[in-house]
Copies of this chain bind each other. A is one copy, B any other.
Amino acid sequence: MHPKEHQVGFMRAVALAACFFALTAAWSLSSKAQTRPPAAPTWSPSGQLERPADYREWVYLTSGLGMTYGPAQVTAGQHQMFDNVFVTPAAYREFLASGTWPDKTMFILEMRDAQTNVSINSGGQTQGGVMGIEASVKDRARFPNGGWAYFSFDGPQGLVPSTAPLPTTARCYSCHQTNTAVDNTFVQFYPTLFEVAKRLGTIKPTYDPTHRP
């Protein structure tokens, strides 16, 4: 072999090695960017929705206190609860851009005890322990009848690690279909996203803010 050919072969090897290293670095960084925050929802081998450990790091949408729906509900004298709503970060970013929820969107509704006179708070209410965790998931392939399913992680001995969807006869299915502002979700209660939906024109034509069930 001519010495020049050796030189060409050597340079070819150096170039390939350098590019392999650079591309590996790019791939590794790309994977890291994609896996934080972790993808949700996740499912158990038997097809149950797993309770996410990190939902408090998802994007917060709103809180209510003592929310009740419908004329039959009475709150006087009842102990009140805060409800905090979180959504998967990737779905949130998609909603900011399009005003719609992508497939695999997942919400967590966390109920917490409302407490009074904690530390220096002499008026009003602050949040205590978890009283319940519910979820909704959009997955058109898994839930072809409407695309959404609803879940409760409440069990007889506290929270369960995974759960099957509530039966489609549960009240949440019809209530979310009938009373929501955007695609089965109560965006009318999420002040920042309600503005986005108004601006992008994605509020359902059937949404009536004065409607009471």
- Chain A binding surface SS class: mixed
Interface size class of A (residues with CB under 8 A): 35 or more
Docked CA distance A132–B129 (Å): 27
Q: Does A140 contact B (CB under 8 A)?
A: no
Residues of B within 8 A of A63 (CB): 63, 82, 84, 127
Decide yes or no: A119 and B189 within 8 Å by CB, A56-B60, A63-B84 being known contacts. Answer: yes
Docked CA distance A65–B121 (Å): 10
- What copy number does this chain have within its complex? 2
Residues of B within 8 A of A74 (CB): 123
Interface contacts beyond A11-B12, A22-B22, A74-B123: sample of 5 additional A-B pairs, CB < 8 Å, sorted by A: A18-B19, A33-B33, A69-B122, A127-B191, A130-B191
28 contacts between A and B (CB under 8 A): A4-B5, A11-B11, A15-B19, A18-B19, A26-B26, A56-B59, A56-B60, A60-B60, A60-B86, A63-B63, A64-B121, A64-B126, A67-B124, A67-B125, A68-B123, A69-B120, A69-B121, A69-B122, A71-B122, A80-B124, A112-B191, A119-B179, A119-B188, A119-B189, A119-B209, A120-B211, A122-B212, A126-B189
